[in-house]
Amino acid sequence: MQSKKLVAAVALALGGAITSGAHAQVSGNVVKLGVLSDMSSLYADIGGPGSVAAARLAVEDYMKSAKSKLKVEIVSADHQNKPDVGSSIARQWYDADGVDAIFDVPNSGVALAVNQITRDKGKAFINSGAASSDLTGKACSPNTVHWTYDTWMLANGTGGAIVKTGGDTWFFLTSDYAFGHALERDTMEVVKKNGGKVLGAVRHPLNTQDFSSFLLQAQGSKAKIIGLANAGGDTVNSIKQAAEFGIVKGGQNLAGLLVFLSDVHGLGLNTAQGLIFTETFYWDLNDQTRAFAKRLAAANNGKYPTMVQAGVYAGVLHYLKAVEAINSDEGAKVVAQMKKTPTDDPLFGKGTIRQDGRKVHPAYLVEVKKPSESKGPYDYYKIRTQIPADQAFRPEKDGGCSLVK
């Protein structure tokens, strides 16, 4: 009896020594990536199935170029834009299904929830789809990287450009949740900093069909610029109905603060022409982005990639690089390694990830082409200016992130 117990104790001790020893390992010998996105509602064309396809391409490309022996699996799920649904999927993935990292997650409300869960469970969260700058501000986490864009960058790029060209009085149409509030707040700051004035704001529920009532209020404000602090289907509907109510003919202008390629596609150039906004990726930038766009379109029903889907691709590449380098899939360690290594991918070029989790790269102020200038579907943007990486995002010290010393 005694000896049996002793053997067991020794075995346990040995086992412990092996797992906690210098040989870090990939859990379950598989790197499991979870793409959590809006698969069926207003943001599904921004991320959604296209993000899953982008993640697949990234894994494929990484295995080929690095001749890697990693075993990688991808799972995906629909968070339905509900933080509670997203949270329970994230928990299930981390606790039961062996998922090591979650990607994409458009919808800031869901993203902030997943951000916290990922930190508690010690996994990794590479966000592409959500906008709230709080992810690298007061909610920043050693387990999170915010890849593609954020509300500060949008506000700074679009808002700054518009105020400087004379659009100095603003009225906001704001989506009533974490994302809209953050975008409104960040844009208001930029407007005021550049000497503009905010005349008012109205908050509409997420996924609203009819904006005419809100547009009428915006019209009544006499503001020169109506800032659309919303996204996806909400932005499309606001722009479409603003045209109908003669807002632009009446002398007011729309500022789409967050517009994606898929939104322009849904609006048609007749309605969307002349819109100015900020993106960090456009498929027609160079040969590499064009090649990627063709491949993704082939895998995603002919739809060209949005910046969110491009961000998922680049994020997966860099994540796998880091996992392989330290031979571990432990969340905080991988993210630390991701921050240590400069990024280099075909879509965003060379860049870095800061201590607060912010991935930095250049941004582009784009203008939507007139129908006569476009050569066909998806030929939509003219690049007006390139905003250099060091000016595109909020300075690290201003975000209030506790990781920044």
Residues that bind other proteins (CB under 8 A): 40-46, 48, 176, 202-205, 207-210, 212-214, 216-217, 219-220, 232-233, 236-237, 240-241, 244-246, 250, 262-263, 265-268, 270-271, 301, 303
CA distances to 103, 186, 358, 369 from 385, in Å: 29, 21, 22, 15
Contact 364, 279 (CB under 8 A): yes
Spatial separation of the C-alpha atoms in residues 173 and 176, rounded to whole Å:
9
Give me the amino acid identity at 37. S
Is the Cβ of residue 49 or residue 86 nearer to other proteins in the bound state? 49
Is the Cβ of residue 195 or residue 205 nearer to other proteins in the bound state? 205
Is the Cβ of residue 35 or residue 338 nearer to other proteins in the bound state? 35
Spatial separation of the C-alpha atoms in residues 111 and 10, rounded to whole Å:
44
Smallest distance, other proteins to C-beta of residue 306, A: 10
Smallest distance, other proteins to C-beta of residue 220, A: 5
Contact 124, 100 (CB under 8 A): yes
Is the Cβ of residue 238 or residue 337 nearer to other proteins in the bound state? 238
Smallest distance, other proteins to C-beta of residue 198, A: 17
The partner residues of 203 in beta bridges, in order of sequence, read: 174
Smallest distance, other proteins to C-beta of residue 193, A: 27
Contact 234, 206 (CB under 8 A): yes
Smallest distance, other proteins to C-beta of residue 209, A: 5
The partner residues of 263 in beta bridges, in order of sequence, read: none
Smallest distance, other proteins to C-beta of residue 267, A: 6
Spatial separation of the C-alpha atoms in residues 118 and 392, rounded to whole Å:
27
Is the Cβ of residue 92 or residue 212 nearer to other proteins in the bound state? 212
Is the Cβ of residue 41 or residue 194 nearer to other proteins in the bound state? 41
- Radius of gyration over alpha carbons of the chain, in Å? 22
